[in-house]
Amino acid sequence: MPVHSQTPSPSHPLFPPLPCSSPRENPLISSLANPPVTLFVQTTITTTTTARCVWIRAVPHSLHISPILYHTSTHSLHAIMLSGALSTVALLAAVLPTALAQTSTLCNPLEERGCPNMPALGANLTFNFTERYNDKVWTKPSAGVIEANEKSEGSYFSLRLRGESPTLHSNFYMFFGRLEVVMRAAAGKGIISTAILQSEDLDEIDWEFMGGNSTHAFTNYYGKGNSDMPTPNRGIEPKMDSSPLDGFHNYTIDWTEERIEWILDDKVVRTLKYEEAKGSDGKSYYPQTPMNVRIGLWAAGDVENNKPGVVEWAGGETDFKQAPFSMIVKSVYAADYTNAKEYSWDDMDDTGDHQKVKIIGKDTNQRSQVFVEATKPTGVDRIKAMSTTTKIAIGASVAGVVLIGAALIAFCCVKQRRAGRKEYATFQAQENQEKAEYAMHKQNWQSRASRYARV
């Protein structure tokens, strides 16, 4: 993988330094190939609300370059506004290309307090993507089509138009755990398929696949969103025996306090130990805070929304005339190595140390609402999950309905038969009367004929 320049581009004049303090860079609108600066005017907003910053890294998470972050605040801030009406989040969505917003957080606990608790998986579950995903367990944050196909191969994540990035984020989090994704990566120059774990403070563990590379996969990790970590060999490309673009493979991340394993079809292809993620600056960049699952694809080869270095890294310019580009996910297995209901940032400081994560409902029978939703049975499984008493009651009800229906049918048949007999008797009487009248008329005619003959 090419190593690109570490030097950030100069700030755009419409994006002055913002008041929220951070060790990261100030906003760099020049990260966009065609920045839409003409649509915006600069203004200043003053409010008494608590300071709140939103950070979105605007480079693909696999690049070895400094992160470019868009930074806003709602407390005595300079802001970019569209007609003075867009909210901060809406503004960010309008400015940033969808593809560049996959790696993001709306509340970084290292920068602010009061970030919401995270629902824990607290168990291990398998999610079947040959059926439609449960939107109470998974969130679709960006444009693009995700649908289960008729052949039950799995769910197609289809990128059809420029700017789309079909992606799912789990609503549950794991505090150390195992992720297995059975999938087929999307083919197409500049198309990147991803299966990752990521935390709200931007710890991250990646599997990535380039749509133009049929021989290698890509593994990577980040500590606190820092793309400029002073650690060697962060991105490693394991060779594959068969193409990730042509068939299904099991891509696994097994993550503990001591080490991370990347496993390809049950074979460990990379191991990262905790001490190996320590930088020359003495800091640990080992991913160690609660993460959710993020799967999807995006067009890094989109020349209208990405810089030349990004397009080059992705393998070249994407030809959208060749769309749709589809990644297929068959199943996702997730195991949370911590038995809990929720994870809290209340005790977190700027170190991002895992010991500062507060575990709620540990080793109890408490479960998060997301877990409850994820384990609700559906279809045949819903019937299997019913108690014997419930099944007997349902069976008796069905039998009762059948008996009542049979009785109604029998009653109707008898009634119809009686009505038929009555109608037949009436018909016979009428026919007999007509025969008698005919016989009488015939006799009268014969009598008249006899009289005429004698005359």
Residue 208 a catalytic site member: yes
Q: Is 99 helix (H, G, I), strand (E, B) or coil?
A: helix
* Angle 165-127-255 from CA coordinates, rounded to 5°: 80
Instruction: Assess contact for 221 and 274: CB atoms under 8 A.
Output: no
Give the whole-angstrom CA distance, residue 390 versus residue 387. Answer: 5
Q: Decide the pairing of beta strands 167-170 and 138-139.
A: antiparallel
| Secondary element (H or E) of residue 296 | strand 291-299
**E runs forming strands in 240-281:** 249-255, 259-264, 267-273
User: The tokens 């990535």 sit on which residue?
Assistant: 208
Residue 434 a catalytic site member: no
Instruction: Assess contact for 157 and 296: CB atoms under 8 A.
Output: yes
Catalytic residue among 111, 200, 204, 342: 204
Catalytic residue among 164, 208, 312, 373: 208
* Angle 7-10-13 from CA coordinates, rounded to 5°: 165
Instruction: Assess contact for 203 and 291: CB atoms under 8 A.
Output: yes
**DSSP symbols for 383-444:** HHTS-HHHHHHHHHHHHHHHHHHHHHHHHHHHHHHHHHHHHHHHHHHHHHHHHHHHHHHHHH
Which residues 6+ apart lie within 8 Å of 442 measured at CB? none
Which residues 6+ apart lie within 8 Å of 201 measured at CB? 105, 108, 109, 110, 224, 225, 289, 348, 352
Task: Report, as residue numbers or ranges, the catalytic residues.
Answer: 204, 208
